[in-house]
Amino acid sequence: MKKKVLILLFILGGIIMAFSINGQMQKAAEEKRNREYEVSLVKALKNSYRDIQEIELSSPDYSVPPGNWSCVVKLTFAHGRVVQDRVNHSLSVKRNRSVDIGIDDADIISSYYGMTEDKVKIIYSTGEEEIQ
């Protein structure tokens, strides 16, 4: 009887470990995918707007099944102008001007159309920071 209980506990422990490892692998894959999209979006934003000083990314969201990725973007421009919105992005996009901040600020954001060539502070959704 004790042998059967031990074998049952061993099997249950193995099943629990398998689910745990699978969950960790899925989380790592999701973090890798989000970083890939965030790096691509940063490049696209720098190709779309001039005078960006800081880009902060948060709340990434990827649809299931895969196909649509978005995140909240906060852009800080020269002179302290800040805009924030949820932005959709695709890896194939080289410029992304889909920041939609409303009719009142549409002229402001369009006045920044161009390209940022200077270094920009990037804050990824994981909290990691870099200058790019």
Domain that holds residue 17: 2-131
Q: What is the pLDDT along the chain (132 residues), one digit of tens a residue?
A: 777 777 767 676 667 766 666 657 677 778 888 899 999 999 999 999 999 999 999 999 887 766 679 999 999 998 888 888 889 998 888 998 887 666 566 677 888 999 999 999 999 999 999 998
Predicted TM-score (pTM) of the model is: 0.77
Structural domains of the chain, count: 1
CA–CA dist 68, 90 (Å, integer): 8
Q: HSE of 14 in the Cβ direction (CA atoms, 13 Å)?
A: 6
DSSP string, 80-108: G-EEEEEEEE-TT-S--------GGGHHH
